[in-house]
Structures are given as structure tokens and as C-alpha cells.
Amino acid sequence: MGIFNKLSFKDQAFKLREDAILDAATRMLASKGFDLMTMDDVALEVGISKPSLYKHFKSKEDLVGEALIRLIDGAIEHLGQMPATLTPLQRLSDLLEWALRVRLGGGLPFLPSTSAHVRDMLTRNLRYVARVLKLHQQLKALVRQAKAAGQLDAALPDDVILFSYYARTCDPSVDYLRLYSQLDDEAIVASMLRVCFDGLR
């Protein structure tokens, strides 16, 4: 029994450290991007050595994949927690707002991959692809409901709406507005939502 408790404690500590690693990786991905995030940096930030890091994640690709899976799961969870009273369009808007706030708070956008390298890497990560597909199906259903209710432009193909929607979560204008405009985070979120659904006109 004592042995089992001891193992359990170890496992708990292991799990805690794993979360710390994922947190650090997420922060660094958000600030520096995939290519400039080094395993040395992550290990240093967490306060462990590189070989220890590799005991948790067998490669950099694996680590990044897990961080993104956690993010997608957060989005799915946020979708599931929404009050039943919201319309499909309100759900889409609410999730985008959530994603923008996560990002402005130092987190990651989903669809972080404007780079073909990262995109290909993620495509080979079957667990990641499965999660993204699950989220994609839920969002596709919302888009169809919103279109049927006249809340989204029915002349636009589903794919166009969905990919444009994803693209807004990783829109570089957020970074530029933060750098070069006087808007605070609240105003940035509000502007992005308005531009997304109502356009520039």
C-alpha cells in the first residue's frame, strides 16, 4: 500500500510538471512561434534539464502537438458550457471572443499554422487532427444552423465561412493593433468581432 501511494505521488508530481511544461511551451509558442521556440528555452523556463524534458515529450513536435490539443480541448469545453439560450450565431461570436481573449492573455490561437511547415507537422499528428475534426464538426453544424436562421450570409460556402472564422482567431492584425494602435484589449476584441461578422463596409 505504501508503495502504491509513493508511486501515486510520483505520478502526481510528474503530471504537475507536465502541465508546467505545456504552460511554458504555450507561452513561448505564442510569443516566439514554433521555429524560435527551442527545447533549451522550454527546459530553462520550467527549471529542468533538457533530457528530463525529453522524458515527458519524445520530440519537439510531440510537445507542440500536446499543447495545441490542450488548446482545442479548451475550445470544445467552452462551447459545451454555453447557456442553452444562445443562438448559433451568438455561440460562434462567443467562442471567437473567447479565443481572442485567450490569445491576448498570452495564449495561443488555434490554427496557429500560417507556416506550411507547422501545418504539415500537425497534419501528421493523428490525435491533434481528431480533436480539430471534432471541433470542426461542431462549428460546421453551428454555421449551417445560423445560415438557416438567416444569421449568416447564405451566399457564402460553408468552407469559406469556417476557414475565415478560424483565420480570425489567429489574425495578425491583433498583434499589429497592440503594437501600433491606441486601442486597449477590450476595444481590440470588439473591433475584431465587428470586422469578422460585418466586414469593413
Partner DNA sequence: GTCTATATAAGGATAGAC
Partner DNA sequence: GTCTATCCTTATATAGAC
The contact set with DNA (CB under 7 A) reads: 10, 14, 17, 36-40, 48-52, 54-55, 58-61
| Closest among 32, 25, 31, 50 to 40, alpha carbons compared | 50
Minimum distance, C-beta of residue 82 to DNA, in the bound complex (Å): 37
Nearer to a second copy (CB atom), residue 34 or residue 48: 34
Q: CA 130 to CA 104: how far, in whole Å?
A: 26
Nearer to a second copy (CB atom), residue 42 or residue 56: 42
Region binding a second copy by CB under 8 A among candidate stretches 7-15, 16-24, 49-57, 190-198: 190-198
Q: CA 115 to CA 190: how far, in whole Å?
A: 27
Residue 161, contacted partner among a second copy, DNA, none, CB below 5-8 A by kind: a second copy
Q: CA 60 to CA 68: how far, in whole Å?
A: 12
Return the HEC string of 106-151.
CCCCCCCCCCHHHHHHHHCCHHHHHHHHHHHHHHHHHHHHHHHCCC
Nearer to a second copy (CB atom), residue 63 or residue 152: 152
Residue 163, contacted partner among DNA, a second copy, none, CB below 5-8 A by kind: a second copy
State which of residues 10, 156, 184, 186 lies at the interface with a second copy (CB under 8 A): 156
Which residues inside 94-153 make contact with a second copy, applying CB under 8 A? 111, 113-117, 119, 151-153
Q: CA 31 to CA 121: how far, in whole Å?
A: 20
| Closest among 120, 118, 93, 123 to 108, alpha carbons compared | 118
Q: CA 21 to CA 105: how far, in whole Å?
A: 18
Minimum distance, C-beta of residue 60 to a second copy, in the bound complex (Å): 14
Q: CA 96 to CA 171: how far, in whole Å?
A: 11
Residue 12, contacted partner among DNA, a second copy, none, CB below 5-8 A by kind: none
Nearer to DNA (CB atom), residue 39 or residue 162: 39
Return residues touching a second copy (CB under 8 A): 31-33, 35-36, 89, 111, 113-117, 119, 151-153, 155-157, 159-161, 163-167, 170-173, 175-177, 180-181, 183, 191, 194-201
